[in-house]
Structure 1
Amino acid sequence: MLVAAKGERFCDQKRPGCSQCARKRALCPGYRDMSSQIFRDLTQVTVRKYHAKRSQSAIASSSQNKSPKLVKAKPSLSLENVALNFFIRVYAPSSPSAWLTYLESVLSCTDANSQLSLSAVLAPAIAIFSHEQKRPSLMYIARRYYLTAIADTGLRLTSIQHAVRDSTLMSINLLTLFEARAFQGRSPPTDWTTHIEGAVELIRLRGNDQFKSVLGQALFLDTVNNIRTSCAQRRIALPAPIQDLLQTLLQKDSPPLSYGILEIGVGNVVDNIIGLVAGMQTGAVYCNDYKAVILEGLRLDSQVSELSRQLWSIQSYRVLPTDASGAWRWSGLAHDYDNPQSARLWNLLRMLRLYLNKWICRAYKKAVFEQQQQQKEEKLLEMGQEFQHIPETAASNTVLMAEYILSSVPYFCSLILSLEASSSSALSSTVRWLIWPLSVVAVSPLSPVSMQIHARDCLRKLGEEMGSAQAVEIANMLDNSETLEDWYASHPRMIVDQKAWF
């Protein structure tokens, strides 16, 4: 029981106020927020230790002198405690960013030069907790922490000694996460991209020394995935220094962390696909060289097919009996997977093949049109008869991949329903894992119209029955014949979730 007011009165838990206080004509202090009890553990101690140990170093003093208008945000300890606990105990373990599991130990570091900015942690922690609790007013506090973290991190970047530390790269990745969560609107995510560009320079400065620790490797791999998604978004190739560092890490005697041969292969193919897309832009290496696009596309499609065969030997899925009455099913088809990670990886490979076959077929058609315009009589593209079957082969591959993606929908929807009673962050992330593959099928020019319609219907149902505003937005854009490429380019939250695919 809770004490209702001073004295021996006890709260009888009646709403809206306890009768004990009412009879005494005393002001009832109300009821404690019991949800805070869920997250009560050692994190509050961690926060207090951090504040106690934080020295008045030159960096901190300089931060105050150079940024007099920035006021240190100090919300109640209860909000800090709950948001930080949720971030560390609930969000981090399910995040694709493996280094987040080291967050608490880094926060308790006693070395002043290696300490992580608490503001950089609290900014995304409160932003994510705001979304979890559906309390947008908390974003004001999160933004104040974000501004303080920007100042702290900027000062660390002025010194190479501090810039190359793990804590500095962690701060930048946390600021990137905040931008992804806080971003609103349809304009390009400029601040998010700025943090990514800063991370590129930072891991270049860190060099091979960052691979000496498990945390350093985890930070590097997560940052590379951020860079990959940003490059894909902007249709530019992965920076050469990043490619060199990645190859250095992957050429070690054993794969880093839990990275396996399959993950390495997927990463390499994704990098090559990003390079292909960048090369097709105006003035780039593949611009108007349709034969080169076809050959490179076919080579990459063959690599993805081989990765699928490898994945089948490791994590095969089950084809369930056809049931036309089953919810969410396309033509009664459904797959069952061992775990969500396996299902996501399968759909990633399928989406890659959808993209590749679209570009292969598009390049073929442009080559044919160009040849007709020039009224040439020699053999088509001078590549042999087998290339004349490209449209049929690309269409066949597309139908098969689209069918497999649609067959994964019942599994994901069952998973989503099982998560309704748990964290809304986990729920919304899982919904977004399904939104991307469905949207790819919905806009695939080689997919049958019936498949496109089913994908759109699933998107709308995700919005109407499972509360996904993004699914509704995409469905509406498709109905209005708007392109999705700019939508994805302006939604970094989707991009953050896409890291889990790589």
Structure 2
Amino acid sequence: MVYRGKPSAGCHSCRRRRIKCDGKPEGCSQCSKISIECPGYRNLDDLLWRSENATTVRKAKASYDKIAKRENRSTSSSPNYSTTSSSSSHSSPGSQDLVPVNSHVTLSLEDFGVINFMSSYVPGSHFDYLPKLYSNSAEGSPLRSVVQAAALASFSRDTDDLSLMETARSHYANALTRTNANLRNPALATEDQTLVSVLLLSLFEAMVWDGVQELNNWTTHIMGALSILKLRGQKQFETELGWRLFQQVGNNIRSSCIQNRSRIPPDLRALFAEAKQQLKEDDPRMMLEPLLAELTELSADIKEDALPVPEVLQAAMMLDYRFTILMQLIPDYKLEDSRTKYPEAFGDTVYEYPTLLASQFWSSCRMIRVLLNEIIHGYTPHEPTMTDAAKESLQTQAANTVERMGLDICASVPPILKLSPSSGTYKASANSLLWPLSVVRSASLTPAPVSEYASKWLQYLGDELKLAPIRKALENKDRRLESLSDGLHIFYLT
């Protein structure tokens, strides 16, 4: 059967006159205004076509039941973007399946996917502002289309239903067309919803990435978001959401630069110089950005062989020291004895953080210190002015730091793994572990037992989240910090 669209809930008179009906139970206001008796409302359940795709309905119903049980328990001129990895169809997708929820309500597959997405993926993620923004968006807006694309892509992965992914790709193509239309309109290009739509296009690319293809589309969307930041100017710093979106785009770009060993775009550095005027000097975000900028510059210099060995070594050692200072200023964590509460822990101590954001901040600093100390260890033997004893001491110190950072990352894993997969924040929390665990697993100085522990939980999360790129990453046994090229940073940013 074919779904003919969402039927109007208005009374017969309003539908005949093609006007909006307010649906008051006692009779609508439109009928009252023209002094006629309201003819009443039809039963929408009788009008909705049911899908004949029994498998999809069964999986959707099972997933919906999990959500319902969980809710009951909790009671609570910018670039045009390529569609290389997506469906070539640009036609506007319609609802193809309807999922019966109970005897009184029937949801379209898109609506069901969005509910599932908002309850199981968004909480705790960098997109936790999305429910309010989505509810305020207009029908047919690019934001609506791209949320539905991401929601169905997530749902497809959860249920192993490839037909859902095809529908998701159609929504993605539609969202891409509508987003580009907004970007060509000066009045719409700088809106929060337009910027969020571009960020969600990058999220979709992360969801459909197979771990083999290049991340060109993801990168294109991120750089497109930077173009929008430029258009938004100082005005974006006037609201809390504007600040958050600025930081989200900046984090995406900086992480991409670290992963690619490329330099931070001058436009982002100029924008941050403007943003500095709005931040307190002791704000950790204020302190982190210049350090990340120096790190990316150093990584690019190393990649291009632009600095002599002594300068690389000195720069890496100074940056590592400055990160130790920063780590003394960020939110603290709680130490717990693992032997009774967390038997799956690697050592005797685990770390519990006040928020997921605090956990990620710590993980970011630790990952960077692993990278810096791998550089220090590797460049020390080639330093011409140091004695052999000094070189040995410095290399031992670097190896000890990598081991300690690896252990600290592993000590952050058990409390997150303790979350139930039905928890609303489980996916966001699990995604936040992928890149750090990959860094621990692949760093050449990580002791074998620590690397094996990280590999075990990376494998576990890959199976839980059904992420093919993790399986691809684990196939590489050559431990030379391959985490910088395995692409798992894109999940860290969602």
* TM norm. shorter chain > 0.5: yes
User: Do the aligned residues in 2 keep the contact of 1:99 with 1:219 (CA within 8 Å)?
Assistant: no
| Structure 1 pair 484–124 and aligned structure 2 pair: CA distance change class (3 A) | farther
Paired residue for 2:13?
none
Query: Percentage identity across aligned positions?
Result: 26
Question: Secondary structure, in 3 states, of the residue corresponding to 1:291?
Answer: helix
2:373 is aligned, of 340, 348, 357, to: 357
Contact 1:106-1:116 at 8 Å conserved across structures = no
1:266 equivalent to 2:260? Answer no
Shift of 1:277: 0.9
Q: What is the aligned partner in structure 2 of residue 282 from structure 1?
A: 304
1:98–1:218 contact (8 Å) kept in structure 2: no
Equivalent residue for 2:94? Answer: 74
> Which residue does the alignment assign to 2:3?
none
Whole-angstrom CA distance in 2 between matches of 1:228 and 1:129: 29
Distance in 2 (CA, whole Å) between partners of 1:464 and 1:177 is 20
Q: Does structure 2 retain, via aligned residues, the 8 Å contact 1:330–1:454?
A: yes
Counterpart position of 2:27: none
1:461/1:132 CA distance change after superposition, 3 Å:
closer
Q: State the TM-score, normalized to the length of structure 2.
A: 0.72
Task: Tell whether the 8 Å contact from 2:351 to 2:412 is kept in structure 1 after alignment.
Answer: yes
**Matched positions, count:** 409
Alpha-carbon deviations, 1:380-408, whole Å to 9, x = none? 39xx9977742122122222222322333
Gaps in structure 1 of 5+ consecutive residues: 1-28, 41-67, 372-378
Question: For residue 391 of structure 1, what is the aligned residue in structure 2?
Answer: 395
Cα distance, 1:194–1:326 mapped onto 2, change above 3 Å? closer
Answer whether contact 1:176 1:195 (CA < 8 A) is retained.
Answer: yes
Distance of aligned partners of 1:465 and 1:390 in 2 relative to their CA distance in 1, 3 Å threshold: same
2:124–2:428: 8 Å Cα contact kept in structure 1? no
Confirm or deny: 8 A CA contact 1:88 1:103 kept in the other structure: no
Letter in 1 for 2:435: W
Contact 1:199/1:223, CA 8 A, preserved across alignment = yes
What letter is aligned with 2:266?
Answer: A
- 1:125-274 residue pairs with structure 2 within 5 A? 125-252=151-278, 261-274=283-296
Corresponding letter in the other structure for 1:120? V
Are 1:498 and 2:487 counterparts? no
Q: Deviations over 1:290-342 (max 9, x none)?
A: 2221222122111211122223xx4232152668x974333544444445444
- 1:80: how far off? 1.8
Bigger share in helix: 1
CA distance in 2, matches of 1:215, 1:333: 37
Residues 84 and 498 of structure 1: is their aligned pair in 2 closer, same or farther, counting only changes over 3 Å?
same
SS at match of 1:318: strand
- The amino acid of 2:406's aligned partner reads A
SS at match of 1:187: coil
Tell whether the 8 Å contact from 1:235 to 1:278 is kept in structure 2 after alignment.
Answer: yes
Farther off after superposition, 400-409 or 356-365:
400-409
Normalising by structure 1, report the TM-score.
0.71
State yes or no: 1:318 paired with 2:368.
Answer: no
Residues 318/122 of structure 1: CA separation in 2 closer, same or farther (3 Å cut) = same
Root-mean-square deviation over aligned CA pairs: 3.6
Shift of residue 458, structure 1, vs aligned partner: 4.2
Alignment of 1:278-427 (within 5 A): 278-282=300-304, 287-311=306-330, 314-320=331-337, 327-367=343-383, 371=384, 379-380=385-386, 389-413=393-417, 415=418, 418-422=419-423, 426-427=425-426
Query: Residue 107 of structure 1 aligns to a residue in which SS?
Result: coil
CA distance in structure 1 between the aligned counterparts of 2:338 and 2:185, rounded to whole angstroms: 62
**Contact conserved, 1:187 with 1:490, CA < 8 A, in 2?**
no
Whether the 8 Å contact between 1:402 and 1:447 is mirrored in structure 2 is yes
Q: Give the match's secondary structure for 2:412.
A: helix
What's the offset of the Cα at 1:432? 3.7
Structure 1 runs, 4 residues or longer, greater than 6 Å off: 29-32, 37-40, 384-388, 464-468
CA distance in 2, matches of 1:127, 1:191: 16
Cross-structure match for 1:44: none
- Distance of 1:219 and 1:362 partners within structure 2: 37
Q: Summarize the alignment of residues 90-109 of structure 1 with structure 2, pairs less than 5 Å apart.
A: 90-108=120-138
Task: Specify the alignment match of 1:18 in structure 2.
Answer: none
After superposition, the Cα gap between the structure-2 partners of 1:328 and 1:75, relative to the gap in structure 1 and judged at 3 Å, is same
Query: By how many angstroms is 1:263 displaced?
Result: 3.5
C-alpha separation in 2, matches of 1:203 and 1:136: 35
